[in-house]
């Protein structure tokens, strides 16, 4: 019987750009998320874990304090938080591949920019003051950082600042505000983080199980199962072409001496170019299959 105190807590964004993908990752990991009346937490009925549904800005604090053993949060939010901490507060367990964006410096049309030195003496508006200050320091530039909690892209038009430093994914919002990207401060994506506070043995066991599943889901996302037939003399070349394969399975084909079936799990994307190369090397009947589950 597992009591409440033995349940893990995972903080995810309640609603926003990371919520859907965070939930999807957990569902693919086999967690059945219950939607209770309480909006701040969600129970998982087939795994000893509860979800905390919070604002993304609060996730690093929860994980630091061990209130939540795990959290899913953007690298941008996490590093901005970490720069304000005296000691490390968490461990990054996995890069999750969603929520990709970048913290970039942008300038109004016509404003010249050659290198970070162009920012010297300028005013730059941002919601990420610590990351921006670190960027300026690393480049030996002195500039004034204007902290804004939102609508940063309006700052140049309002003459609050001459440059901005903001999160960008496609750049459409910047363009709509007459701005263009001139430099990059940080590339970001969603991360799975874990508290540095020690866990009870029961929680540690559940944590290991959860991580194994999440790693399995992440591994299958890019992986494909590939099968083909090939004559013996083509096997070495095929082995070199297969992306992210350590040791393919090679099985003799019944009734066709000197011919083999090659099966392998490709840990990287398999492109049409790869198939064409395999065919040119002598492979035939090439099949690429999705992998549903994987445990390494
Ligand atoms: P909350 O109410 O939880 O504080 P928020 O408004 O701070 O939400 P969102 O806009 O939902 O946050 O973004 C959450 C995270 O999604 C960002 O911190 C970032 O890691 C990621 N992200 C991906 N693309 C973008 C983008 N184009 N603009 C902003 N954030 C993005
Ligand atoms: Mg936020």
Q: Which range of residues forms the domain containing residue 238?
A: 224-290
Q: For ligand 1, say whether the CB of 56 is within 6 Å of any of its atoms.
A: yes
Q: For ligand 1, say whether the CB of 25 is within 6 Å of any of its atoms.
A: no
For a pocket test of ligand 1, which of 11, 12, 98, 101 has the largest count of ligand atoms closer than 8 A to its C-beta? 101
Q: For ligand 1, say whether the CB of 152 is within 6 Å of any of its atoms.
A: no
- Ligand 1 atom nearest 150 alpha carbon: 6
Judged by phi (left if over 0) then psi (alpha if -120 to 50, else beta), residue 233 lies in: alpha
Instruction: Single out the residue of 30, 24, 29, 28 nearest to residue 12, CA to CA.
Output: 24
Task: For residues 135 and 91, state if they share a domain.
Answer: no
> What whole-number percentage of the chain has pLDDT above 70?
98
Instruction: Single out the residue of 161, 164, 169, 119 nearest to residue 143, CA to CA.
Output: 119
Task: For residues 204 and 264, state if they share a domain.
Answer: no
296 domain-assigned = no
Q: Is the ipTM of this complex over 0.95?
A: yes
CATH of residue 257's domain is 3.30.70.120
Q: For ligand 1, say whether the CB of 55 is within 6 Å of any of its atoms.
A: yes
Encode pLDDT of 189-204 as tens digits.
Answer: 999 999 999 999 999 9
Q: What is the pLDDT of residue 2?
A: 45
For a pocket test of ligand 1, which of 14, 74, 95 has the largest count of ligand atoms closer than 8 A to its C-beta? 74
The CA distance from 215 to 218, in Å, is 5
Task: For residues 172 and 54, state if they share a domain.
Answer: no
The CA distance from 120 to 117, in Å, is 6
Total-model pTM? 0.89
Q: Looking at 77-171, which runs of residues are DSSP E strands?
A: 90-95, 101-108, 123-126, 144-147, 163-168
CATH of residue 167's domain is 3.40.190.10
Beta strands 163-168 and 123-126, pairing class: parallel
The CA distance from 161 to 70, in Å, is 37
| Ligand 2 geometric centre to CA of 132 (Å) | 17
Task: For residues 57 and 200, state if they share a domain.
Answer: yes
210 domain-assigned = yes
Strand order in the sheet with 49-54: 41-43, 49-54, 8-13, 70-74, 190-195, 90-95
The CA distance from 220 to 240, in Å, is 21
Sign of CA dihedral 231, 235, 241, 243: positive
Q: For ligand 1, say whether the CB of 16 is within 6 Å of any of its atoms.
A: yes
Encode pLDDT of 111-161 as tens digits.
Answer: 989 999 999 999 999 999 999 999 999 999 999 999 999 999 999 999 999
Task: For residues 196 and 118, state if they share a domain.
Answer: no
Task: For residues 51 and 124, state if they share a domain.
Answer: no
Task: For residues 199 and 230, state if they share a domain.
Answer: no
Q: For ligand 1, say whether the CB of 17 is within 6 Å of any of its atoms.
A: yes
């Amino acid at each position: 019987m597992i009591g409440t105190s033995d349940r893990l807590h995972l903080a995810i964004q309640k609603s926003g750009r990371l919520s859907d993908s965070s939930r999807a990752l957990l569902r693919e990991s086999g967690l059945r998320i219950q939607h209770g009346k309480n909006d701040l937490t969600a129970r998982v009925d087939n795994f000893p874990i509860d979800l905390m549904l919070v604002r993304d800005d609060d996730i690093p604090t929860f994980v630091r304090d061990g209130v939540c053993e795990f959290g899913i949060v953007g690298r941008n939010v996490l590093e901005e938080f970490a720069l304000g901490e005296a000691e490390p507060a968490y461990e990054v367990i996995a890069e999750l591949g969603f929520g990709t964006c970048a913290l970039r410096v942008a300038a109004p049309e016509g404003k010249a920019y050659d290198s970070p030195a162009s920012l010297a003496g300028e005013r730059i508006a941002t919601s990420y003051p610590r990351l921006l200050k670190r960027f300026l320091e690393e480049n030996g530039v002195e500039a004034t950082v204007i902290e804004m909690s939102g609508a940063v892209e309006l700052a140049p038009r309002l003459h609050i600042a001459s440059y901005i430093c903001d999160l960008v994914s496609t750049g459409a919002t910047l363009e709509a505000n007459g701005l263009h990207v001139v430099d990059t401060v940080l590339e970001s994506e969603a991360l799975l983080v874990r508290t540095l506070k020690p866990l009870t043995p029961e929680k540690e066991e559940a944590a290991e199980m959860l991580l194994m599943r999440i790693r399995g889901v992440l591994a299958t996302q890019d992986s494909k199962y590939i099968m083909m037939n090939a004559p013996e003399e083509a096997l070495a070349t095929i082995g070199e072409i297969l992306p992210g394969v350590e040791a393919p399975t090679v099985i003799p084909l019944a009734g066709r001496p000197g011919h083999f079936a090659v099966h392998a799990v490709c840990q990287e994307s398999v492109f049409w170019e790869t198939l064409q190369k395999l065919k040119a090397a002598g492979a035939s009947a090439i099949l690429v299959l999705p992998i549903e589950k994987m445990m390494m």
